[in-house]
Amino acid sequence: MTDRHFFVICTWFWGGWGFWGFLLLGTGRAEESRFVFEKAEMGLPFRIALYAQGPSQAKAAADAAFARIEELNAVFSDYDPDSELSRLSRSSGQGRAVPLGADLWRVLEQAQLLAEKTEGAFDVTVGPLVNLWRRVRRKRELPGAALLEEMRARVGYKSLRLDPVTRSAELAAPEMRLDAGAIAKGYAVDEALAVLDRLGVHRALVGGSGDMAASDPPPGQEGWRIEVPAIDAPGAPPPQVVLLARRAIATSGDHFQHVEIDGVRYSHIVDPRTGMGLVGQSVVTVVARNCATADSLATAVSVLGPQKGVALVEGTPGAAVRWVGLRGRDMESASSRLWPEIAGPAGDR
Ligand code: ADP
Ligand code: MG
């Protein structure tokens, strides 16, 4: 590593002027040097660490990867009324099928498989309930029974009908709203990594907040060192570390975004079967073969809880999970059989 101290950080500060900054640290003569780039995409900080021959190859590859993420934001954004997803949502209840672009098709197909496997604990039609709980968080006031029922009636993965022959979707109930927030970020991370690979960058780590995917590890190392987000509460288990290579990792949980009303914490993750924000206070980390899988499984396990959640992940080839959360008053943890092979105490790695 000593002769590989050529290290570049390139950071864009996203603002009205499109200002960007470029910072060069150190020099070296290594064949492959490490570069780090950051850019706000999908309203989140995305980060790419990669090894390349030099700054121009590195920057060209990172630019192309960020451009791919931006392209996917135009497909999946639920804030943008012109996104392909928003346009599809507006077709609900009209009795017509809408042809889908390749990315939307792949994500919805994967989402529906998981919805079936989890009997609707994971459900991309959850949009009306997610919006309801966004309002709850703003107003700090629980929804009334009638409003909750009204929103629940708009949700249900069985009303999202995919036709594999025409690659089209029909939203069979009125006022449906799709929300790909628990899978699209992971998919974007996978796609960005695939772009880097096609451009000859084979040692890379792409991350969009907690969700990350890696190709080959840094030279001479077993994997990219990733700290598993720890829960910040008394009795929580110590932090762990994963060495990530040709795998993805995602964390989700009601611990991070929530609102407290009358002493109860409600999460931004909703149980579509009850319409309620989760109250369990958990952090779920999943490692899987790709980030769309890790991302969606992490949310599914948050809803299902440790028992059913661990079983779900054990039935997914190459995947492992750790669940940490409150059961009653006690902090507990549960993990799948494969987890100890993948993660370990921070000091050992
Ligand atoms: P994070 O927002 O921290 O990445 P997740 O990956 O768990 O956390 O995604 C949470 C998002 O998933 C919510 O903001 C919402 O858009 C969506 N969502 C909430 N509940 C569900 C659910 N039961 N099934 C599918 N998506 C959900
Ligand atoms: Mg997720």
The predicted pLDDT at position 31 comes to 82
In this structure, is residue 127 part of a structural domain?
yes
Which atom of ligand 1 is found nearest the CA of 121?
23
Residue 182 CA to ligand 1 center (angstroms) comes to 4
Pocket test for ligand 1, best of 118, 130, 183 (most atoms within 8 A of CB): 130
pLDDT digits (tens, 9 = 90+) for 89-100: 999 999 999 999
In terms of phi and psi (left: phi > 0; alpha: psi -120 to 50; beta: otherwise), the region of 159 is alpha
The predicted pLDDT at position 255 comes to 62
Q: 235 pLDDT band (50/70/90 cuts)?
A: confident
The predicted pLDDT at position 254 comes to 64
CA proximity to 224, closest of 59, 34, 67: 34
Lowest mean pLDDT among 185-194, 247-256, 271-280: 247-256
Domains contained in the chain, number: 1
Pocket test for ligand 1, best of 44, 270, 299, 302 (most atoms within 8 A of CB): 299
In this structure, is residue 325 part of a structural domain?
no
Q: 348 pLDDT band (50/70/90 cuts)?
A: low
**Pairing of β 33-41 and β 7-12:** parallel
Residue 254 CA to ligand 1 center (angstroms) comes to 10
Ligand 1 within 6 A of 183 CB? no
Q: 30 pLDDT band (50/70/90 cuts)?
A: low
As a dihedral over the C-alpha atoms of residue 267, residue 268, residue 271, residue 272, rounded to 10 degrees, the angle is 160
CATH number of the domain to which 149 belongs: 1.10.3980.10
Tell me the average pLDDT across 114-142: 97
**pTM, rounded to two decimals:** 0.90
What are 337's two structure tokens?
A: 């059989």
The predicted pLDDT at position 256 comes to 66
Confirm if 320 and 335 have CB atoms less than 8 A apart: yes
Residue that the structure tokens 């792949």 belong to: 106
Residue 7 CA to ligand 1 center (angstroms) comes to 35
Average pLDDT, the chain: 89
- Nearest-CA residue for atom 23 of ligand 1: 122
pLDDT digits (tens, 9 = 90+) for 300-310: 999 999 999 99
Ligand 1 within 6 A of 269 CB? yes
Integer Cα distance of 97 and 133 in angstroms: 29
CA proximity to 181, closest of 296, 319, 273, 313: 296
The predicted pLDDT at position 49 comes to 98
Residue 244 CA to ligand 1 center (angstroms) comes to 23
In this structure, is residue 226 part of a structural domain?
no
pLDDT digits (tens, 9 = 90+) for 12-21: 333 322 233 3
pLDDT over 70 at 81, yes or no: yes
Provide the strand spans (E) within the chain: 7-12, 20-25, 33-41, 44-52, 98-99, 160-163, 168-171, 204-208, 211-214, 224-228, 240-244, 248-252, 258-261, 264-267, 270-271, 276-277, 282-288, 320-327, 330-335, 343-345
pLDDT digits (tens, 9 = 90+) for 60-76: 999 999 999 999 999 99
Integer Cα distance of 120 and 129 in angstroms: 14
Residue 24 CA to ligand 1 center (angstroms) comes to 37
Residue 150: in which H helix or E strand, if any? helix 145-152
In this structure, is residue 319 part of a structural domain?
no
Q: 238 pLDDT band (50/70/90 cuts)?
A: confident
Tell me the average pLDDT across 163-185: 98
pLDDT over 90 at 219, yes or no: yes
Residue 295 CA to ligand 1 center (angstroms) comes to 9
Ligand 1 within 6 A of 207 CB? no
The predicted pLDDT at position 327 comes to 77
In this structure, is residue 118 part of a structural domain?
yes
The predicted pLDDT at position 18 comes to 29
Structural domain boundaries enclosing 95: 84-131+138-178
Residue 290 CA to ligand 2 center (angstroms) comes to 12
In this structure, is residue 103 part of a structural domain?
yes
Ligand 1 within 6 A of 272 CB? yes
Ligand 1 within 6 A of 276 CB? no
Sequence-separated (6 or more) residues with CB below 8 Å from residue 56? none
The predicted pLDDT at position 1 comes to 35
pLDDT over 80 at 109, yes or no: yes
Strand 240-244: give its sheet, edge to edge.
Answer: 224-228, 240-244, 343-345
The predicted pLDDT at position 20 comes to 34
In this structure, is residue 21 part of a structural domain?
no
The predicted pLDDT at position 231 comes to 79
Integer Cα distance of 228 and 42 in angstroms: 23
- Nearest-CA residue for atom 12 of ligand 1: 182
Residue that the structure tokens 């390139």 belong to: 10
Q: 230 pLDDT band (50/70/90 cuts)?
A: confident
Tell me the average pLDDT across 161-180: 98
Pocket test for ligand 1, best of 41, 89, 179, 212 (most atoms within 8 A of CB): 179
Ligand 1 within 6 A of 256 CB? yes
Percent of the chain clearing pLDDT 70 (strictly above): 90
In this structure, is residue 152 part of a structural domain?
yes
What are 267's two structure tokens?
A: 């999460």
